[in-house]
Amino acid sequence: MNKPTPPATDAIHFYDPRTGAHGLPRNPFKSLVVPRPIGWISSWSKNGVANLGPYSFFNAIAETPPMVAFCSSRRPKSDDFKDSQLNAEETGEFVVNICTENLKEQMNISSAPYAADVDEFEKAGLTKGQCKNVKAPRVAEAAVALECKYYKTIALPNAPGEHSHVMVLGSVVGIHINKAILTDGMVDMTKFRPIARLGYWQYTVVDNAFWMEPPEAK
């Protein structure tokens, strides 16, 4: 194992995000904590309209019991909450679908700011799959779907002049895995090929993996 060398101090670009002055052509923040998995959230509205939208401020946050969280901003130029947050809060349920490379165009279509009475499954040409432990629909084409019961919403601190973001937490109560992504009973990344968000308008595909056991396992 080679000893790594830290860069010289003057090789570091530093900025304080509280000032908003990052000193680069575009805000780099979303390019730094990468890749961010995409929680493709499906739900019903209280009026019975299906909804689907991608969220990359998203992750699994606990294993036992399994829990997930996604963070939602408000709609640009309005006070409106986004539909995924509202539906999760009003119906108590949502589904996290994992977007894979073959569904990237459909995911992108579902991110458009459609009104609450528009069904993004129809816009993106996707099929509603039945869940077992929640009524919310899942993306039937998705290789993985996590049925979730809404747990709580946490308001995040707001920047001056901005609406605060919220974090929506859910408990996973049902897990669907397409057996086609398994090899010997293990999830095979070369078959799964989930996509993830980088900064700007960049994405990546998980198409390889390496194995490294922790010191205590050796």
Ligand X SMILES: Cc1cc2nc3c(=O)[nH]c(=O)nc-3n(C[C@H](O)[C@H](O)[C@H](O)COP(=O)(O)O)c2cc1C
40 binds ligand X (CB under 6 A): no
Q: Which is nearer to ligand X, 37 or 172 (CB)?
A: 37
Q: How far is the CB of 189 from ligand X (least distance, A)?
A: 19
Min separation Cβ 80 and ligand X, Å: 8
CB of 30 to ligand X, least distance (A): 9
Tell me the torsion sign for CA atoms 109, 94, 66, 81.
Answer: positive
Chain-centroid distance, C-alpha 205: 14
The verdict on 53 binding ligand X (CB under 6 A) reads: yes
Query: Nearest 10 degrees: CA dihedral of 43, 189, 33, 77?
Result: -30
- Give the shortest CB-107-to-ligand X separation in angstroms: 7
| Residue 83 lies near ligand X (rule: CB under 6 A) | yes
Are the CB atoms for 174 and 164 separated by under 8 Å?
Answer: no
CB of 33 to ligand X, least distance (A): 12
Contact (CB, 8 A) for 92 and 150: yes
Map the footprint of ligand X across residues 191-210, applying CB under 6 A: 197
**DSSP assignments along 128-191, one per residue:** EEPPSS-SS-EETT-SEEEEEEEEEEEEPPPPTTSPPPEEEEEEEEEEEE-GGGEETTEE-HHH
Among 50, 82, 121, 145, binds ligand X (CB under 6 A): 82
State the minimum distance, in angstroms, from the CB of residue 200 to ligand X. Answer: 11
Size of the site for ligand X (CB under 6 A): 17
Tell me which residue of 85, 82, 80 sits closest to 70, measured CA to CA: 85
Torsional class of 54: left (φ above 0), alpha (ψ -120 to 50), beta (otherwise):
beta
Closest CB to ligand X among residues 90, 188: 90
Tokens of 211: 């194995």
57 lies in the binding site for ligand X (CB under 6 A): yes
Q: Which of residues 94-123 bind ligand X (CB under 6 A)?
A: 108, 111, 113
Name the residue nearer to ligand X (CB basis): 72 or 172: 72
Q: Is residue 51 involved in binding ligand X (CB under 6 A)?
A: yes
Binding site for ligand X (CB under 6 A): 38, 51, 53-57, 71-73, 82-84, 108, 111, 113, 197
